[in-house]
Structure 1
Amino acid sequence: MGSLAAPREALLPLSYPPARRDESVVDDYHGVLIADPYRWLEDPESEEVKEFVERQARLTDSVLEKCEERERLRRRITALHDHPRYDTPFKRGGKYFYFHNTGLQAQSVLYVQKDLDGEAEVLLDPNKLSDDGTVALTLSSVSKDGKYLAYGLSSSGSDWVTVKVMRIEDKQPELDTLSWVKFSSISWTKDGKGFFYCRYPAPREGHELDAGTENNINLNHEVYYHFLGMDQSEDILCWRDPEHPKYIYGTDVTDDGKYALLYIEEGCNPTNKLYYCKLSLLPHGLEGFKGRNEMLPFIQLVDNFEARYLFVTNDDTKFTFMTNKGAPRYKLVRVDFIEPESWTDVLPEDDKDVLETASAVNNNQLLVSYLRDVKYGLQLRDLETGALLHEIPVDIGTVYGISGKREDSDVFIGFTSFLSPGIIYKCNLAAGVPEMQIFREAFVPGFHRENFEVKQVFVSSKDDTRIPMFIVSKKNIQLDGSHPCLLYGYGGFNISLTPSFNVTRLVLTRNLGFVFCIANIRGGGEYGEEWHKGGSLSKKQNCFDDFIASAEFLVSNGYTNPRRLCIEGRSNGGLLVATCMNQRPDLFGCVLAHVGVMDMLRFHKFTIGHAWTSDFGCSDNKEEFHWLIKYSPLHNVKRPWEKGDSHRLQYPSTMLLTADHDDRVVPLHSLKMLATMQYVLCTSLGSSPQSNPIIARIERKGGHGAGRPTQKMIDEAADRYSFAAKVMELSWTD
């Protein structure tokens, strides 16, 4: 455990910067009047908002300067982070491509090699595109013939992407530049003449814009086809639906090049419509649509939002899809486009395990991964019948980045766990029995896995649902309630939190004595769609109950005590920990809420927030408003000492984290929450029992998280965890 040090400089109660309250802003939600005095903080271009941010930043800096373990954390995290990392290779046009980071490079570099034994060459190094590493390569796709790379660049963490093209043979850039791309893949046609992509109209035509700082709602997603060498203005508009401006699209081109698939989503639910266009039947090909105000002739295969359909493979008109239709844990189905009403099961839904991925490989086989109590399993099955051929053994952990095409007998498989920095396996399927060989393995100097242990426990929630939780600690700790504990959660959007390696968390465990835990609460995808639905919409409170039950388990079983229990979450997880803080301020010593959705009554009005109504509901609907107002973090900050509890009870020490270019969960959520907490708990009172600090860390040139440069990740980790160490009175042990 982290030892108690000699007394250090205490954090005195903070003097918070004043923030104007506009009491005139009141909204009527179905007859219920709700004040919104910090509405002005929604304008990122306002000088008053910029001044508010600057004052809060200075306050936070003054706190962090008193956090004694900050520099030691930074040095140790940096040292352990400095190890080579690789992504799984993928093959196109007879060449191999992979991403690699030597350790502390701001961004990973894309390499190409003619064969696995040949010399690797740098194809694209995004570190050369900016001085501070804030230009990230967030999208990449190699043409099927291996001649061209289309790649997307984002700046300062924004979701906006600019797509460019490079010739792979001589690594020379083409002139192609595609702007205002967002939530898009790049789908090359087999002839290599161009690709499908998705974009939005420019947020503000004719205005200079620091992309990523705007709050404008994202509407009217569109599908285009770009011909190499052409100006974006000449791209073919393939699909739009102005009657449904909130729809979001995705595309896929089959390996045989004959079909383009169109996925249509109306939110974040795992459901989609599915259309197809037979490219091989277009009289003049895609070129025939140049200059014509005519969209592609897509045919409706599935025209409702009852289930999700993901393409696996096809043999001419016979298609195999992964779906959750009538199968909340997913299954594989087959349909012949000649008889679109007739669907048959290829691989039925499992009784317990969740089908995560399915890849057609080695001509007539399927490589499938399952999630079993939040741990991955791998199987090889027959493509035609779905029959099990082989169980492929993997350790307890997470399988990711499966890379292989229908024609490939060699497949690459990524693996990680809490105590495994990363292994890439090369699996040979040509032999009768799959042969798993280590292709690459990451090693972290100074990390000794034998000093740690991992457990999985099951916690009974408020309604007796069993909630899995992973616990990572030093070996053989005494359960005497003295250990600092970091509890992490998410609980939303069908996303599963599975085991993964994290240098920073191991530093906390090794040098500050933390016990690190992940609670796999409802709302995620750990047990399929029923688990997801059990923590969404009217049942969202189950997420908070599950997380609180997990925290209570850690206390009652001697892992920690409330004063030393820190909770952390990001995005929907930021909402999670903020809500739990409101509901049980007595249970936690520190809260780290990253880029959280805090205003549950207005989130749908900004950027892509409207897509989240599938998980949350929407305040425009009377019934759903009453769900949301009960837990919305912004609207439920209360003084705990006024509830008849002890006068000494207060909110835990809190750090809200956001970033100026986060155009996913825009910063206004955290800014309004910060102003509200500081006012209600502190500045509105002459003498407040709230002595625990309430601060915000506001990243400059940062976004929601994707594409963040390495140094920014290290700096943020050192800041937030030194803050936690300070307020929980922890000190360093070597």
Structure 2
Amino acid sequence: MNSKSTLAALGLIALAAGAAAQGLVYPTTRKADQQDVYHGQRVADPYRWLEDDNSAETAAWVKAQNAVTDKFLSDMPQRLPTRKLYTDLYNFEKFGIPFKEGGRYFWTRNDGLQQQSVFYTAASLSDKPTVALDPNTLSKDGTVALSGFIPSPDGKLIAYGIAESGSDWQRWKVRNLATGQDMTDEVRWVKFSSAAWTPDGKGFFYSRYDEPKAGAALTGANYFHKLYYHRLGTEQSADQLVFENKDDKQWGFGAEVSDDGSLVYIAIWKGAGSKNGLAVLPLNKGSFVAGTKVQVITQDFDALYSAVGNEGSTLFVKTDQGASRGRLIAIDLKKPARSAWKTLVAETSDTMTSAHAVGGRFLIGYLRDASTLVKVHAKDGKFVRDVQLPGVGSGAGFSGKWTDSETFFSYTSLTTPSEVWRYDVATGQATVFQKPKTPFEAEQFETRREFVTSKDGTKLPIFIAHKKGLKLDGTNPTLLYGYGGFNVPMTPTYGVTAATWMKMGGVYVIASLRGGNEYGESWHEAGTKLKKQNVFDDFIASAEWLIANKYTQPSKLAVNGGSNGGLLVGAVVNQRPELFGAAVPQVGVMDMLRFHKFTIGWAWVTDYGSSEDAEQFKALLAYSPLHTVKGMRNYPAVMVTTGDHDDRVVPAHSFKYAAALQAADTGAAPKIIRIETAAGHGAGKPTSKIIEERADMLAFFANTFKMDTKQ
């Protein structure tokens, strides 16, 4: 490092004069004379240097920003009582949905405050379970997390993936359940992949990228995904390449082995959109034979195709091809032409979100106005019955094998912690498997679904939860959460963040915005690319509805979202700063002109478009949070959050956005950034970091709204 950069890095340690807010003095962020030309238009990027995650100058900036933020948060009287309440509400027994393999049951359990949930196994539901794998033993601070857990067909081995410090990179190992010891097998540089055992138990399929260049593991673009087969007892270098596309660097692969052991279903993805290809790989009596040719069913990327199961050469597929809200079809692999595809379950007015082949029947999940319905259909597609869920909320699970007689599912709502139920497929009887006991008194709270009219007349559902007896006098502290992208629906689920906020006297609201899958693919597409502004309009309309209906007022309205939801928060705050009192964009996509240049960012072009396209560039520039910060306007209190190991949405997005906020004249409210160390995009984050980060967010809101949080 030269003397100039050394001085620059050292200079960031001291707090320099700049925009001040509530006694805050922000670190000086160096502005470089960096300009780019997009389709004839010059765009400044003065904080480009913050994209270098290996530089001493960036490290010094992070340290200086965290010093300011830590001091601000520590001085808040709401911080410690909010953290205590959050911890108390988080401290309850949590169970995952059981599944069965090799005649054994497997599920996760967390006793309350364990850093990572533990995998348990038992021969029957009445047996005392034993520990199959405890990820808390993999690191002292809980920052090594399980990214996957796949038992072998005989239930004697497990292939498991581990991710460190929140990174998307995984290492997969194999453990003998009887001895509790790892075998010599290890595969590395795995990303966006699980493992799929061959029925003979001799190995598994997985997907990976080539090893990244030195220093580029957390920022370098990820291209040329490849599907491999790893045979137990061999080195990774000997793994057999199964499928790749040398002509298209964007192709990616996911593998799943059929129940009958005759096929490998291969999902071919290209970007993070809702359209994919589908192929199958024949197995030889449950074994993989090198050189076996893959049979491509479709690679048109014109719709979503998800293999559900098969019976002989008949493949069952969930798709939205020709049906925006989804249908279930049958494809004869001997005659796979589209003209021969047969509809088993036709499209309805509800949105088909999942389909599972269990017990000789299809269990199909739907969304109706963003809440879950589940229907059972016979093998020929005829309707059998509805699954009676406990209420209006969110259900998940229902997986299993064609020969299983039972399955398991979870149910939750904004005021109901996740319950696990067992379902008898033949009789339709549902019984509680695990129901958590929590300190959250659900009977003291209520939830309702309302409908908001957006700017263009589109109606969207919002879910509102709060203490019973709430006065609609416009004075209630309210937290509005949204996402709006990548075909991901927002449905009402229980979370400790919402529970804590409601216990503090706040109103919690989830908005189901366009860009998600609440009403099918057309709803998703209405919030993408040149139509992305619809998502922001939906969120703004939700905020205005809450104000007009006397739930709250702008000075007591907080907004929050993560990842694509972080983009959402940054965009609406820039567009309508007077509408909100506080905002926390988490791990957000904030630079819409350069997002595609890092890690897997190129895959988001399916939703966002790209600055390399002239028309899309104009749309992106119009809402890009980094580029639309406006001075001479009073902004709400903003706390940006990110993780230093986030290799999904690289932290430079948040760094640059925070620097822009601090440099502009955006009023007296604080504009701070909370940068978590040894943490990534969110998956696998240890309990202690979850509690600290989310409690700090709620305390930040409470401090802004001058809420009394004394217990």
| TM-score with structure 1 setting the length | 0.92
- 1:403 offset after TM fit, Å? 3.2
Contact kept, 8 Å, 1:239 with 1:296, in 2: the verdict is: no
- 2:567 alignment counterpart: 575
- The Cα offsets for residues 14-52 of structure 1, whole Å up to 9 and x where unpaired, read as 2111111112x1111010111111110100011111111
The letter for the 1-side match of 2:598 is F
Instruction: Using the TM superposition, give the Cα deviation of residue 280 of structure 1 relative to its aligned residue in structure 2, in angstroms.
Output: 2.4
- Counterpart code for 2:259: D
Q: Which residue of 2 is the match for residue 359 of structure 1?
A: 356
Deviation at 1:681, TM superposition (A): 2.1
Deviations along 1:232-279, one digit per CA (max 9) or x if unpaired, are 010001112121112111112111111122221111111111122222
Distance in 1 separating the partners of 2:434 and 2:698:
31
2:93 equivalent to 1:84 = yes
Give yes or no for the alignment of 1:654 onto 2:631. no
8 Å contact 2:89–2:499 — kept in the other structure? Answer: no
**Equivalent in the alignment of 1:505:** 498
Structure 2 partner of 1:114: 123
Distance apart, 1:210 and its partner CA: 9.2
Native 8 Å contact 2:261 2:285 kept in 1: no
Check the 8 A contact 1:592/1:720 in 2, yes or no: yes
In the TM superposition, 1:407-446 aligns within 5 A as 407-431=403-427, 434-445=428-439
Structure 1 Cα separation of the partners of residues 632 and 328 of structure 2: 51
Cα deviation for residue 145 of structure 1 reads 1.9
Q: Aligned-pair distance for 1:56?
A: 0.4
Work out which of the residue numbers 472, 480, 483 in structure 2 matches 1:487: 480
Residue 269 of structure 2 corresponds to which residue in structure 1?
A: 265
Alignment correspondent of 1:458: 451
Aligned partner of 1:519 among 508, 511, 515: 511
Partner of 1:304: 300
Alignment equivalent of 2:107, drawn from 84, 90, 98: 98
Deviation at 1:532, TM superposition (A): 0.3
Stretch of structure 1 that moved more, 167-176 or 135-144 = 167-176
CA distance in 2, matches of 1:93, 1:585: 56
Partner of 2:560: helix, strand, or coil?
strand
Contact 1:88 1:403 in 2 (8 A): no
Could you tell me the TM-score, scaled by structure 2's length? 0.95
Contact kept in structure 1, 2:282 and 2:292, CA below 8 Å: no
Quick one: which amino acid aligns to residue 86 of structure 2?
I
Q: What is the CA–CA distance in structure 2 between the aligned matches of 1:623 and 1:507, rounded to whole Å? A: 44
Letter in 1 for 2:413: S
> 2:209 is matched with which residue?
200
Decide whether aligned partners of structure 1 residues 449 and 286 sit closer, same or farther in structure 2, where only a CA change above 3 A counts. closer
1:182-221 equivalences under 5 Å are: 182-204=191-213, 207=214, 214-221=218-225
What residue is the counterpart of 2:9 in the other structure? none
Given candidates 58, 66, 71, the residue that maps to 1:49 is 58
Deviations 1:503-560 (A, max 9, x none): 232221122x211101111001111101100110110000000000000011111011
1:284-299 pair list within 5 angstroms = 286-287=288-289, 289=290, 296-299=292-295
Once the two structures are superposed, what CA deviation does each residue of 1:265-302 show, in whole Å capped at 9, x if it has no partner?
111111111122222299xx635x3xxxxx64112211
- C-alpha contact (below 8 Å) 2:566/2:586 kept by paired residues: yes
Deviation digits for residues 128-165 of structure 1 (CA, Å, limit 9, x no counterpart)? 11000000011111112212100000000000000000
Match of 1:326 in 2: 322
Deviation at 1:406, TM superposition (A): 1.0
- The aligned residue for residue 8 of structure 2 is none
Q: Given the alignment of the two structures, is residue 673 of structure 1 paired with residue 657 of structure 2, yes or no? A: yes
Given that residues 226 and 241 in structure 2 are in contact (C-alpha distance below 8 angstroms), is that contact kept between their aligned partners in structure 1? yes
**Which shifted more, 33-42 or 404-413?**
404-413
- C-alpha distance in 1, partners of 2:424/2:475? 49
Matched, 1:160 2:177: no
Cα separation, 1, equivalents of 2:181 and 2:198: 21
Structure 2 equivalent of residue 236 of structure 1: 240
| Structure-2 separation of matches of 1:531 and 1:229 | 48
Q: SS at 1:731's partner residue?
A: coil
Structure 1 counterpart SS, 2:398: strand
SS at match of 1:340: coil
The offset of 1:313, in angstroms, is 1.2
Q: Report the secondary structure of 1:192's partner residue.
A: coil
- Secondary structure at 1:313's aligned position in 2? strand
CA contact (8 A) 1:14 1:691 kept: no
Distance in 1, Cα, partners of 2:579 & 2:670: 16
Q: Aligned-residue CA RMSD in angstroms?
A: 1.5
Alignment of 1:344 with 2:350, yes or no, is no
1:426 Cα offset (Å): 1.1
Q: In structure 1, what is the Cα distance between the partners aligned to 2:563 and 2:632?
A: 25
In 2, Cα distance between equivalents of 1:128 and 1:251: 29
Question: Does residue 1:633 correspond to 2:636, yes or no?
Answer: no
* CA displacement, residues 347-368 of structure 1 (integer Å, 9 cap, x when unaligned): 0001x20111111122x21111
Q: Aligned partners of 2:292 and 2:459: how far apart in 1?
A: 49
Number of the residue aligned with 1:546: 538
Partner of 1:619: 611
How many residues of Structure 1 are paired with residues of Structure 2 in the alignment? 689
In 2, the alpha carbon distance for the partners of 1:515 and 1:417 equals 15
Q: What amino acid is aligned across from residue 582 of structure 1 in structure 2?
A: N
Identity %: 43
CA distance in 2, matches of 1:470, 1:97: 33
Rounded Cα–Cα distance in structure 2 between residues aligned with 1:13 and 1:635: 27
Q: Aligned partners of 1:313 and 1:275: how far apart in 2?
A: 13
In structure 1, the residue matched to 2:386 is 391
Shift of 1:430: 3.4
CA distance in 2, matches of 1:210, 1:145: 40
Q: Are 2:704 and 1:727 equivalent residues in the alignment?
A: yes
Q: Quote how far apart the aligned CAs of 1:671 are.
A: 0.3
1:532 aligns with 2:542: no
Distance of 2:216 and 2:173 partners within structure 1: 19
Q: What residue number does 2:674 align with? A: 697
> Aligned partners of 2:561 and 2:444: how far apart in 1?
26
Q: Once structures 1 and 2 are overlaid, which stretch shifts more, 374-383 or 692-701?
A: 374-383
Separation in 2, partners of 1:733, 1:54: 31
Give the partner amino acid of 1:233: S
Provide the rounded CA distance (Å) in 2 between the counterparts of 1:86 and 1:506.
Answer: 18
Are residue 123 (structure 1) and residue 132 (structure 2) matched?
yes
How far apart are residue 640 of structure 1 and its match? Answer: 4.4
Can you give the 5+ residue segments of structure 1 that lack an aligned partner in the other structure? 1-9, 290-294, 642-649, 683-689
Residue 418 of structure 1: how far off its partner (Å) = 1.0
How far apart, CA to CA, are the structure 1 residues paired with 2:503 and 2:278?
49
Query: Are positions 1:714 and 2:691 aligned together?
Result: yes
CA distance in 2, matches of 1:435, 1:718: 40
- State whether residues 640 and 651 of structure 1, in contact with CA within 8 Å, keep that contact through their aligned partners in structure 2: no
Alpha-carbon distance in structure 1 between the residues aligned to 2:178 and 2:285: 32
Residues 303, 12 of structure 1: alpha-carbon distance in 2 compared, 3 angstrom cutoff:
closer
1:402 Cα deviation from its structure 2 partner: 2.1
Q: Tell me if structure 2 keeps the 8 A contact 1:13–1:693.
A: no
Are 1:331 and 1:355, in contact at CA under 8 Å, matched by a contact in 2?
Answer: yes
Q: What does residue 12 of structure 1 align with?
A: 22
Local SS of the residue matching 2:517: coil
Q: Which runs of 4+ in 1 moved over 3 A?
A: none
Name 1:21's counterpart in structure 2.
Answer: 31
Deviations 1:430-486 (A, max 9, x none): 33xx111111111103x2111111011101100010011001111121111101100
- Give 1:249's aligned residue: 253
Distance 2:602 2:192 in 1: 14
Q: Which moved more, 1:672-681 or 1:696-705?
A: 672-681
Distance 1:106 1:26 in 2: 44
